[in-house]
Amino acid sequence: MNETARRDLLLYESKDLTTHAVCVGMTGSGKTGLCLTLLEEAALDGIPALAIDPKGDLGNLMLTFPGMAPADFRPWIDESEAARRGMTPDEFAAETARTWTKGLADWGQEGARIARLRAAADVAIYTPGSSAGLPLTVLRSFAAPPAALAADPDALRDRVSSASSGLLALLGIDADPVRSREHILVSNVLQKAWQQGRGLDLAALIRDIQTPPFATIGVVDLESFFPGKERSALAMSLNNLLASPGFAGWLEGEPLDIARLLWTPQGKPRIAILSIAHLPDAERMFFVTLLLNELVAWMRSQAGTSSLRALLYMDEIFGFFPPTANPPSKTPMLTLLKQARAFGLGVVLATQNPVDLDYKGLSNTGTWFLGRLQTERDKARVLEGLEGASAAAGASFDRQRMEATLAGLKSRVFLMNNVHEDEPVLFQTRWALSYLRGPMTRQQIQILMAPHKQVAATAPAVATTAAATPGRSALPEEAQTHTAPISERPLLPPEVTEVFLPHRAERAETSSLIYRPALLATGRVHYTSARAAIDHWETVTLLAPLADDVADDPWEKAETLVEGEPDLEKAPVAGARLAGPPAAATRARSYETWRKSFADHLYRQRVLTIWRSAALRQSSRPGEAEGAFRVRLAQAAHEKRDLQVENLRQRYAPRLAALQQRISTAEERTQREQSQYDQQKLQTAISVGATVLGALFGRKLTSVGNVGRATTAMRGVGRAARERGDVGRAQEGVEALRQQLADMETELQSEAAGLEAAGSPSTLDLEPIQVRPAKSDITVTRIALSWSPWRIGPDGAALPAFR
Q: What is the pLDDT of residue 48?
A: 96
| Higher-confidence position of 62 and 706 | 62
Q: Which pLDDT band, with edges at 50, 70 and 90, does 684 fall under?
A: low
| 572-604 tens-digit pLDDT | 888 788 888 888 888 899 999 999 999 999 999
Q: How far apart (Å, rounded) are the C-alpha atoms in residues 31 and 414?
A: 9
Q: Following DSSP, what letter does each residue of 436-457 receive, concatenated?
A: ---PPPHHHHHHHHHHHHHHHH
CATH code that applies to domain 1-60+106-135+253-459 = 3.40.50.300
Q: How far apart (Å, rounded) are the C-alpha atoms in residues 188 and 208?
A: 10
Q: What is the pLDDT of residue 465?
A: 33
Q: What is the pLDDT of residue 594?
A: 93
| 399-410 tens-digit pLDDT | 888 888 888 888
Q: How far apart (Å, rounded) are the C-alpha atoms in residues 61 and 271?
A: 9
Q: What is the pLDDT of residue 464?
A: 34
Q: What is the mean pLDDT of the chain?
A: 82
What kind and span of H or E run contains 136?
Answer: strand 136-137
- Count of CB atoms situated within 10 Å of the CB of 722: 12
| 78-113 tens-digit pLDDT | 999 999 999 999 999 999 999 999 999 999 898 999
| 715-770 tens-digit pLDDT | 555 565 565 666 667 677 767 777 777 777 777 677 767 766 655 656 678 888 88
Please, is 640 exposed, middle or buried when counting C-beta atoms within 10 Å of its C-beta (0-12, 13-18, 19+)? middle
Q: Following DSSP, what letter does each residue of 472-524 receive, concatenated?
A: S--S-HHHHT--PPEEPPPP--TTSEEEEPPP-SPP-TT-EEEEEEEEEEEEE
Taking Cα atoms as reference points, which of 262, 244, 298, 291 lies closest to residue 54? 291
Model confidence at 705: pLDDT above 60: no
Report whether 498 contacts 784 (CB < 8 A): yes
Q: What is the pLDDT of residue 539?
A: 92
Model confidence at 233: pLDDT above 70: yes
Report whether 261 contacts 126 (CB < 8 A): yes
| 432-453 tens-digit pLDDT | 999 999 999 999 999 999 998 8
What kind and span of H or E run contains 732?
Answer: helix 703-758
Q: What is the pLDDT of residue 785?
A: 93
> Is residue 543 helix, strand or coil?
strand
Residue ranges of the alpha helices (H) in 175-245? 181-195, 202-210, 222-225, 228-243
Q: How far apart (Å, rounded) are the C-alpha atoms in residues 332 and 336?
A: 6
| Higher-confidence position of 706 and 552 | 552
Most confident by average pLDDT, 1-5, 147-151, 326-330? 326-330
Q: What percentage of the chain exceeds 70 in pLDDT? A: 84
Q: How far apart (Å, rounded) are the C-alpha atoms in residues 371 and 29?
A: 6
| Higher-confidence position of 571 and 683 | 571
| Higher-confidence position of 91 and 241 | 91
